[in-house]
Amino acid sequence: MTVTLGRRPLLAGVAAATVLPMPAVAQSKPIRIGLLTVKTGPLAQGGIQTEQGALLFLKDRNNTIAGRKVELLVADTGGNPAGTKTKAQELIERDGVDMIFGPLAAFELLAISDYVAAHKTPIFSLAAAEDMSQRKPNPYFVRASGTSAQNMHVLADYAAKELHYRNVITISEDFAYGYEQMGGFQRVFEGAGGRVVKKLWPPIVTPDYTPYLAQLSGVDAVVQGFAGSNPLKFMKQYKDAGLTLPVIGGGTAADDALLKSFGDEAVGLISASVFTSDLDTPVNRQFIEGMVRDTGAIPAPPASTSTAWWPRRRSQPPEGAPTTRLRS
């Protein structure tokens, strides 16, 4: 018999398990949360912000959720599937965590899904892997962030209907997040009458994009879906190569944390994101002030969504919860 558990029932169950009164013995036991995140390699920027956002949330609540202390155990996945599975095994079997928070990247989450489900461990992840809630749903999984293609659906619609692009070339890393982003973009863009004439897939650790830059011509625009520090490297090399085609991108192409590191190469870039630090609400202002105070960094989507899923002191969605928007 197959049991299908929807997202709302799972969220309700998790909230009940966290908030309802527990026996005195259970109440005195801390909640052990294993954070899987990337702290080394090209994806490290997003992984570090995930940890910073979680620490800020817990600090604001005196490391307590629903009257119980929280122990956060942080493990560096190295940004690869094998490393992520090893760290998940250590957290569950050696450290006895009550739940997993993370990992960051889609291909990391896909690598541990079956293992975590087999151990019936709740997993709250920011990873955008679409199979987790579509083709191969994991009944122990909750995602508080968007899917890989969510930003790209908005971007593709805007590119076709507002920018009137008809032909584009896409370029993104050769891993699950890249494929899912561009698959979503292509579906919406071609559904609106556009055409993706070429898709390029550089390895995630590509030091020099010259062979790929040489292929960017004969279209209305370039769609880039790079993540981590790679958007900085790509856009700089793009400008240095003298290319002038418009560039558009997803949420990781030019998030708020990256903007301070860009130069003139980012002028004219249009991106679609689930979060912006420009959102003028009390909750968002408090969050940004806390991140800047504690880390010196402007928060990006990984930091913002790493706080969004935690049980709140109120039942309604937090004011300023992320919504997808376009920006240039």
For residues 172 and 181, give the distance between their C-alpha atoms in angstroms, rounded to a whole number. 8
Residue 175: its pLDDT value, please? 82
128 and 188: one domain? no
Question: Does 86 lie in the same domain as 167?
Answer: no
At 261, which amino acid appears? Answer: S
User: Are 129 and 179 part of one and the same domain?
Assistant: no
For tokens 């590191």, name the residue: 261
CA distance readout (Å), 134 to 5, 109, 117, 149, 265: 12, 14, 16, 12, 37
pLDDT (tens, 9 = 90+) of the chain, 328 residues, equals 333 444 444 444 444 444 444 444 455 789 999 998 888 877 777 777 778 878 888 888 888 888 899 999 998 888 888 888 999 999 999 999 998 887 777 788 788 888 888 999 988 877 666 666 677 777 887 777 777 788 888 999 999 999 999 999 999 999 888 888 899 899 999 999 999 999 999 998 899 999 999 999 999 999 999 988 888 999 999 999 999 999 999 888 877 767 777 888 888 999 887 776 777 788 777 777 777 777 676 665 655 555 543 444 333 434 443 344 444 4
Tell me the residue type at 217.
S
Pairwise CA distance, residues 55 & 240, whole Å: 39
**Rounded-to-integer distance, Cα 152 and Cα 32, Å:** 35
Same domain, 101 and 186: no
- How many domains are there within the chain? 2
Examine the fold and report which residue of 143, 174, 192 is the final residue of a domain before the chain moves on. 143
Secondary structure (DSSP) of 191-218: HTT-EEEEEE---TT-S--HHHHTT--S
Spacing of C-alpha 168 from chain mean position: 25
Indicate the pairing of strand 123-125 with strand 141-143.
Answer: parallel
Residue 302 lies in a domain: no
Answer yes or no: do 185 and 97 share one domain. no
Q: What is the radius of gyration, based on Cα positions, of the chain?
A: 20
Q: In the prediction, which pLDDT does 247 show?
A: 96
Q: What share of the chain is helix, strand, coil (3-state, %, to 5)?
A: 40, 15, 40
By CB neighbour count within 10 A (0-12 exposed, 13-18 middle, 19+ buried), where does 166 fall? Answer: middle
Nearest Cα to Cα of residue 52 among 301, 248, 250? 301
- Based on the domain organization, do 32 and 139 belong to the same domain? yes
Q: Which domain holds residue 40?
A: 7-143
261 and 161, same structural domain? yes
Asked whether residue 118 falls in the same domain as residue 158, the answer is: no
What pLDDT was estimated at residue 272?
A: 85
